[in-house]
A and B are shown apart, each in its own frame.
Chain A
Amino acid sequence: MNDMTPTREQRTAALEGMGCKRKRVEDIRFTQGKGNYVDDVKLPGMLHGDFVRSPHPHARVKKIDDSEALKVPGVLAVITAETLKTVNLAWMPTLAGDVQMVLADGKVLFQNQEVAFVVATDRYAADDGINKVVVEYEPLPPLVDPFKSMDADAPVLREDLAGKTSGAHGPRKHHNHIFEWTVGDKELTDAAFKKAEVTIKEMISYHRTHPSPLETCQCVCSFDKIKGELTIYGTFQAPHVIRTVVSLIAKLPEQKIHVIAPDIGGGFGNKVGAYPGYICAAVASIVTGKPVKWVEDRIENLTATSFARDYHMTTEIAATKDGKVTGLRVHVLADHGAFDACADPSKWPAGFFNIVTGSYDFPTAHLAVDGVYTNKAPGGVAYRCSFRVTEAAYCIERAMDILAQKLNMDPAELRLKNFIKPEQFPYHSALGWEYDSGDYHTAMRKMMETTGYAALRKEQAEKRAAFARGETREIMGLGVSFFTEIVGAGPSKNCDILGIAMFDSCEIRMHPTGAGIARMGTKSQGQGHETTWAQIIATEIGIPADNIMVEEGNTDTAPYGLGTYGSRSTPVAGAAIAMAARKIKAKAQMIAAYKLEVHEDDLEWDIDGFRVKGLPEKFMSMKDICWAAYNSVPPGMEPGLEAVSYYDPPNMTYPFGAYLCVMDIDVDTGVYKVRRFYALDDCGTRINPMIIEGQVHGGLTEAFAIAMGQEIRYDEAGNVVTGSFMDFFMPTAVETPHWETDFTVTPSPHHPIGAKGVGESPNVGGVPAFSNAVNDAFSFLGSTHIQMPHDYWRNWKAAKQLGAVA
């Protein structure tokens, strides 16, 4: 071997494969302003559409007069529900099995609901037109409080459902009832509570909030009358699903619909569903024969496209005196707003909320969820979490702290006592899931050791004593959170969207020179897929990641996939990539055997090529195999080197983590300071540690926002009062705490590369850590549960109610 021969380490490093902190491919264009987002798309003759929206939360629409609007220079058309009825599009199906008005049909059901769509030559003229559309309303009493939805005298919101005693998910109990969903063994659980030594019960609310990516929802629709083809550029987390939905509801042949999701400026669940803007822009393009752009403004985004959460969870735990949990009972009142536009797999009206037993070995549990309508915006979406998983994690993590308080036990010790043990995996939970792998005790103990948990508790005790003596006005809280997520939707046996199984896909095509392209069913919104997907391929087939181009978002070229949300890309598409790469490798092995004149069983894989066992000098690199695939394949073999994989996962994946938030609160002002935040994540095999850390930072920041102030709030009259970034808490660099990250690695046993997904873990685990810190700080003053969000004012109010402030 001469000096020029690279070492094994150098050959591995040159691939920039899995485990490498590879710098992102995307950043070259993004840092130079050369991204291509939807609002950057400009087509010849393009028009702009914008909405007339309802000022009322609940009203009858008596008349829409567009005559003055049509006189405005530049205004070409005003589309109403009547226009849409001519093409049978006044209503559209939601992902949750409900229907939703595209434009107000006789009635409006939430403030800022879409009433008419004005189409004009530019966005300014469209706005002028909106101001001239006269709508006559007859206000109706608004229903804002979900707890009053099923009162006997509650106003009827959905007149279209009159007489329908069952919906997509079974019987309806009331005119404002959507569904009831129950899981678990009620009898056994009730019995556990009857004989319990200790029980706790608390109504734990997870307030309404909004994903609010920095880029709002938008699209450009262009209908070609001659070819009968519709092209849609849009902010779509799931472009293929959008194509199928458009085909089904617009009755256009699916091959004539081209959906392109270009660069997306953040999604966080907001861009999964279909919104009236997409339908109206498409119809407007068909009507006018020109491309039509629709761009939501921030107020519209916050008040009309899908909210998240709004779950009100009455939670009970049964336990023994020494802190062993024996039963869990949860009832959820789910506020879906005016239409159930929940983005969930079809069979699960409350998503995967039945992960609510968390990381604990509950022998029995029972869950019931009632969904109701109110005069609020429709939803809800999974804001940086798998479907309803953040609600479930908040519910159980808050409840465990409340139980610890009742038992006078340390919250960390209570968790350690009840964790599912490593030897219990695969673990069957009382509510029906099979947890793939975990080592909770190791993660928890690492968190406690790294943070100096015992010393922090000691400091807290001293501060409490000092507070009692009147020496300080500051209280200290330790927020422990240990979450188990359920992500990677999902196995076809239990997950589909409108009947389409939730697989995902990858197609890899290697070129003669040893470069290639990978096309995906997923769609990055900032996760860095162009970088990480190439890393998986690099490790699998020994071609440098730099030589693999990753393409997503074009339904004409990409294999069908269900998109990116619910931390599903790595668990599902990541597996499809590995499987497609392994098909390539298998063919490559046959080609190498032929070229090296040995049997393929005589070959072994060696970083970036095949070597003849026992003859190290007989080696053929993957690069050379690519060339051979195009000129000298074995007799009878087809030339070329490409493969496609559609991966239907055998199970979900179950990432977990141990978080600790250390917080100080001034009782006289309610001002809090996050002194320290430590996040240990176990997402199985780590593909790119730099990107994982970035995802954790971002998810924690969103968790911080939600727990400490971010809320979509309505007043009693049904007006949304948090409609801009002035009122809706968006942390800046000043408020955002410093994040400490850590990890353990427990690979998923059923995933080809052992990866579990991480994007949403920090949001799921972060919210309870913050909320538990606040609650832990106040607990010694006599409180058991203070509702989120914990902004300064609410903290001050809590201190006052507890008698800490005069």
Chain B
Amino acid sequence: MAKTHVTMKVNGAEVEGLVEPRTLLVHFIRENLGMTGTHIGCETTHCGACTVDIDGMSVKSCTMFAVQAQCSDITTVEGMANADGTLSALQEGFRMMHGLQCGFCTPGMIMRAHRLLKENASPSEDEIRMGISGNICRCTGYQNIVKAIQYAAAKINGVEFREAAE
């Protein structure tokens, strides 16, 4: 099949590659770019494990062709740590609040939470739950993911994080 040349920015770096028109963006990221943090859980847009940030929106990269991402600006989980290599507020929140177990949904969950906090800097529990409802986690039961996002929001906003009493 004839291949198309694509260029895009991924985690701040210009990248390019030759792809078939049918190549999914998630496969381009994982296989052409070798960035395997973005996962595939269902290939039908339900689970959100493949969520990346494209031009300021959360996108499930299993349901977008690489050619559709031409010239776009993409952030994946590999671009989430602080510049000095330490964990970002969200990554730290997931660790401190035990917001992950097997880690398979985590990159997509962090990418979605990243955009959610850009859209709403101080979301309520209900807003967080609705905001991540496109991402499935099989391990945690979500309660600690909600806390992880609250932890990150507090840290980013420079306020003290208080765990809600059970």
Cross-chain pair count, CB within 8 angstroms: 178
The residues of A that contact B134 with a CB separation of less than 8 Å are: 732
- Give the distance to chain B from A604, nearest Cβ to Cβ, in Å: 36
B130 touches A526 (CB 8 A): no
The answer to whether the Cβ of B66 comes within 8 Å of any Cβ in the partner chain is: no
One of A222-230, A310-318, A696-704 at the interface: A696-704
> Are B98 and A35 within 8 A (Cβ)?
no
CB nearest neighbor in B for A694: B98
A214/B87 in contact, CB under 8 A: no
B141: contacting residue among A32, A298, A701, A724, CB under 8 A: A701
A724 closest partner in B (C-beta): B44
A734 on the B face (CB < 8 A)? yes
Asked whether, in the complex, the Cβ of B139 is within 8 Å of the Cβ of A266, the reply is yes
- B95 and A24 within 8 A (CB): yes
Bound-state Cα–Cα, A474 to B96, Å: 40
Quick check: B140 and A32 within 8 Å, CB to CB? no
Count class of interface residues, chain B: 35 or more
Interface residue ranges of A1-55 to B (CB < 8 Å):
23-24, 26-37, 39-40, 42
B100 at the A interface (CB under 8 A):
yes
B10 at interface by CB-CB < 8 Å: no
Which chain B residues lie closer than 8 Å to A34 at the CB level?
37
Contact indicator per residue, chain B 99-142, by CB within 8 Å of chain A (1) or not (0): 01111111100100000000000000000111011111111111
A465 at the interface (CB under 8 A from B): no
B94 contact from A31, A690, A701, Cβ within 8 A: A31
B129 CB contacts on chain A under 8 angstroms: 732-734, 736
Q: Is B60 an interface residue (CB 8 A)?
A: no
Q: In the complex the two chains form, what is the Cα distance from A216 to B110 in whole Å?
A: 21
Which residues on A sit within 8 Å (CB–CB) of B7?
none
Secondary structure of the B contact surface, majority rule: loop
Contact check, A698 vs B136: say whether CB atoms are below 8 A apart.
no
Chain B residue contacts of A39, Cβ below 8 A:
30, 36, 39-40
| Cα separation A73 to B136 with both chains bound (whole Å) | 36
Chain A count of residues within 8 A CB distance of the other chain:
58
Minimum distance in angstroms from B115 CB to a CB of chain A: 15
Q: Are the CB atoms of A726 and B138 closer together than 8 Å?
A: no
Q: Does A725 contact B (CB under 8 A)?
A: yes
- Complex Cα–Cα for A213 and B104 (A): 9
CA distance A39 to B36 in the complex (A): 8
A526 to B42, CA, bound (A): 19
> Taking A27-B95, A726-B44 as contacts, is the C-beta distance between A526 and B103 under 8 angstroms?
yes
Question: Given the complex of chains A and B, what is the CA–CA distance between A502 and B78 in angstroms?
Answer: 40
> Could you say which of B49, B106, B139 has the most chain A C-beta atoms within 10 Å of its C-beta?
B139
A268 at interface, CB cutoff 8 A: yes
Contact B80 A32 (CB under 8 A): yes
CB neighbours (8 Å) of B106 from chain A are 30-31
Residue of B nearest to A703 (CB): B141
What residues of A have a CB within 8 angstroms of the CB of B94 in the complex?
Answer: 27, 31
**Residue of B27, B41, B103 with most partner-chain A CB within 10 A:** B103
Residues of B within 8 A of A265 (CB): 39, 41, 102-104
**Contact yes or no, B22 A698, CB < 8 A:** no
Is the beta-carbon distance between A215 and B104 smaller than 8 angstroms?
yes
Is B44's CB under 8 angstroms from A27's CB? no
- Which of these, A263, A527, A698, A741, contacts B138 with CB under 8 Å? A698
What are 20 A-B pairs with beta-carbon distances under 8 A?
Answer: A26-B103, A214-B41, A263-B103, A265-B102, A526-B102, A691-B98, A693-B98, A694-B144, A697-B142, A700-B141, A724-B42, A724-B44, A725-B46, A730-B46, A730-B138, A732-B133, A732-B142, A733-B142, A733-B145, A734-B130
Q: Apart from A32-B91, A214-B138, A730-B47, what 7 extra A-B contacts exist at CB < 8 Å?
A: A23-B98, A33-B37, A214-B105, A525-B102, A733-B145, A734-B129, A736-B129
**The 10 A-B residue pairs with the shortest CB-CB distance in the complex, in nearest-first order:** A33-B37, A526-B102, A265-B104, A30-B103, A697-B141, A33-B77, A725-B46, A526-B101, A701-B141, A40-B36
